[in-house]
Structure 1
Amino acid sequence: MTLIWRKAAEPDLEVLAAMNKQLIDDEGSRNPMNLDQLRERMRDWMTTDWEIDLLCNSSGIVGYVLYQFRPASNSATRNEAYLRQYFIKRDYRNQGYGKEGIELLLTERLEGIETITIEVLETNPNGMRFWRKAGFLPYSTTMKRI
């Protein structure tokens, strides 16, 4: 399997919005945004300090990641990364693309970053299993009364 990460650009907004919508549905999120709103949100992220990269193979786009570098809370000289969204298209799941994408992300985009933070919704047990397999461990629990 040959995968690459490439930086997302304006022409990718439609596919990014569609993948983001699938992610919202898959994780059981309460996010009510429609495709137009998701496209605009992606556009906004592209113009700020967020990074959006597309995971691609020889056939096309496999998934995407949205992340941001932040100063480490316990060090003035280190950075950490916050992965806000990581998505693999349904047709590519359970074939190793997700894990390979993470390994590639760590070596190509997050090299030297010691702490990587993610959030996984409790309504997303498949996501929990994936992140555990990728080496992430629970650190804290955020609870809400809704």
Structure 2
Amino acid sequence: MDEARYATELDAPILAELNQEMIEASGHKTDLDRQALEQRMRSWLAFRDYECVLFFRSIVPIGYALFRGDVEIHLRQFLIRQPYRRGGVGRSAFRFLAGEVWHNASAVQLDVHADNCVALLFWRSLGFQGQPEAMRLTIASQQLNADRLFRWRPTAA
């Protein structure tokens, strides 16, 4: 069974690696190298600017979600690694977040690069609407329940 847990500052190196994969997959351009991505992630987690959930298959990190908010969620980053895509893992991870993490949320907002057709199709398949720069999903209307593909891993491994 796949697992999820909240990330800590100690996870900044793997989060930077995952973030770099997301940047490359999206076609987004950035001047930040891996070290700068790691420092930025560490800072966001240390100062509680964002929360982050890591997803695992066994002990292997397969993705993450970086977000903030309680009622109105801003999902800044979401990635499932390439070998785990197209099998429902991303959908299950999102449903896990909606059902197990975002208890008070009524809506989720995210930005997608307009050229990232694969991501646009994925988010639209989950019910997100709007332009790529401001996609939105009202959670109550979607009846999203926690997906049992993932379970909580309460402590860092």
TM-score (norm 2): 0.78
- Aligned counterparts of 1:140 and 1:20: Cα–Cα separation in 2: 19
Which of residues 98, 112, 130 in structure 2 aligns to 1:120? 112
Letter in 2 for 1:49: D
Is residue 8 of structure 2 the alignment partner of residue 9 of structure 1?
yes
Match of 1:56 in 2: 56
> What stretches of structure 2 of length at least 5 have no aligned partner?
135-157
Question: Could you tell me whether the CA contact under 8 Å between 2:113 and 2:133 is conserved in 1?
Answer: no
What secondary structure does 1:122 align onto? coil
Pairing of 1:86-125 with structure 2 (within 5 A): 86-125=78-117
Pairing of 1:22-101 with structure 2 (within 5 A): 22-47=21-46, 48-69=48-69, 79-101=71-93
Give, in angstroms, the shift of residue 140 of structure 1: 7.3
Q: Cα deviation per residue 1:56-106 (whole Å; 9 max; x = unaligned)? A: 122421100000006xxxxxxxx2110000001111111111000001010
Question: Could you tell me whether the CA contact under 8 Å between 2:20 and 2:34 is conserved in 1?
Answer: yes
- The alignment's C-alpha RMSD in Å is 1.7
Q: Where do 4+ consecutive residues of structure 1 move more than 3 Å?
A: 139-142
Q: Cα deviation per residue 1:21-51 (whole Å; 9 max; x = unaligned)? A: 1111111112221000000010011022310
Question: Could you tell me whether the CA contact under 8 Å between 2:65 and 2:79 is conserved in 1?
Answer: yes
Letter in 2 for 1:65: A
What secondary structure does 1:100 align onto? helix
Give, in angstroms, the shift of residue 138 of structure 1: 1.3
> What stretches of structure 1 of length at least 5 have no aligned partner?
71-78
TM-score (norm 1): 0.84
- Aligned counterparts of 2:13 and 2:35: Cα–Cα separation in 1: 9
The share of aligned pairs that are identical, in percent, is 29
Letter in 2 for 1:66: L
- Aligned counterparts of 2:24 and 2:131: Cα–Cα separation in 1: 25
Match of 1:130 in 2: 122
- Aligned counterparts of 2:24 and 2:107: Cα–Cα separation in 1: 28
Letter in 2 for 1:93: R
Give, in angstroms, the shift of residue 10 of structure 1: 2.8
